[in-house]
Amino acid sequence: MRISNLSDDLLIKILSFLPTKVAVSTSILSKQWRFLWMWLPTLEYNDNEISVIAPLSASWLRYEEFINKNLPLHRAPIIETFLISFVRNRITHPEKLKLWVEIAVSRSVRELSVGYFSHSEEFFLSLPISLYACDSLMALKLQGKNVLVDVVPLTVSLPMPKLEEAEFRVSQVNEKVLESVTFVKRLSLSSLESVYPSVGIVMSQLEHLELRVYKNDWSKLLIWLLRNSPKLRVLNLYVGFYRRDDEEYEPVDLKNEEESSVPECLLRSLETFEFSSHMGTQEERCFLSFFFTHASCLKSASVIHRAPRHGLQSI
């Protein structure tokens, strides 16, 4: 049986297994194939696809033009997954990426992944306001050095109301990031810097938290998250390598915490705790002492000690 005799629905299913750029190229095969790619449920634009044979600057420009020309032609009413990544190289016009995300939102995108790194502090990627009102989005991933999360517009009563899972690997975690995902059930945060959030943000539905930090004073952000995540059941904590300087560390006063101020999740819901890359700093010792004193619902816990020059050691 010839592949051209298959139904359009089956051909679209086959195309969905190909890289988006390859799927689009099939439009030149025949009249039947001309518009099939426009109905793909998954669109992935990754700069790893850029040819390293041609001059890189020319390759980047051609790839931007390819997306800019073809993405608006997409016809599927729903995009299941939309991935756009300029992690290896810097996009020449960051505002285009914002436009592409708007197109995905207009197609009722359900999973959105944006990766963008800029070597210049002058270039920031901000997300379109329409994203916050998107009532179809269920999973959101942002990755990049200069990805800017704007303030949730006042016109949006409940940002991204169906969002269940969010992952942020950004240079800084602050209240703007957390305001946009207050109703998620799973949250992954990875940050080089953490800004202590203001009051008034409650992660009311959060059940699973993964926190990766690379900065002193990380426990301030973590304690804030615990206090404002009353339903948390699973906590995965990774403390990456950072310059150890106990003189600059301003510890959270955990020893004198009153019972009424202990995070509710420690007393009522947290069941699983994993702490990896334990360096033995004062901040880590203080937090672990406080945590194990008050975590009364634990079913499993592990602490992995990465001793300098001695590999990993389970405690």
Q: What is the pLDDT of residues 64-121, one digit of tens each?
A: 888 888 899 888 999 999 998 876 556 667 778 889 999 999 999 999 998 877 666 5
- Are 145 and 174 contained in the same domain? no
Number of domains in the chain: 2
- Are 27 and 93 contained in the same domain? yes
For the stretch 254-284, pLDDT in tens is 655 555 589 999 999 999 999 997 677 888 8
pLDDT at 4: 64
State which residues form the domain around 24. 12-152
pLDDT at 315: 43
- Are 54 and 145 contained in the same domain? yes
In a domain, residue 233? The reply is yes
Per-residue confidence band for 291, with pLDDT thresholds at 50, 70 and 90: very high
pLDDT > 80? residue 314: no
Which of 99, 119, 152 is a domain's end point? Answer: 152
Across residues 5-20, what is the average pLDDT?
Answer: 76
pLDDT > 50? residue 49: yes
- Are 144 and 273 contained in the same domain? no
pLDDT > 80? residue 172: no
pLDDT at 182: 85
- Are 178 and 134 contained in the same domain? no
- Are 221 and 185 contained in the same domain? yes
Among 20-29, 71-80, 153-162, the range of highest mean pLDDT? 71-80
pLDDT at 219: 87
Residues linked to residue 111 through DSSP beta bridges, in sequence order: 81, 139
Per-residue confidence band for 247, with pLDDT thresholds at 50, 70 and 90: very low
In a domain, residue 1? The reply is no
pLDDT at 295: 94
- Are 58 and 177 contained in the same domain? no
pLDDT at 36: 80
Per-residue confidence band for 211, with pLDDT thresholds at 50, 70 and 90: very high
- Are 144 and 232 contained in the same domain? no
More confident: 27 or 296: 296
More confident: 181 or 174: 181
Instruction: Indicate the range of 52-61, 104-113, 218-227, 267-276 predicted with least confidence.
Output: 52-61
pLDDT at 56: 47
pLDDT at 258: 52
pLDDT at 312: 47
pLDDT at 85: 83
Instruction: Indicate the range of 89-98, 184-193, 202-211 predicted with least confidence.
Output: 89-98
- Are 168 and 228 contained in the same domain? yes
- Are 139 and 233 contained in the same domain? no
pLDDT at 65: 82
In a domain, residue 294? The reply is yes
Across residues 292-310, what is the average pLDDT?
Answer: 82
- Are 142 and 211 contained in the same domain? no
In a domain, residue 103? The reply is yes
- Are 104 and 227 contained in the same domain? no
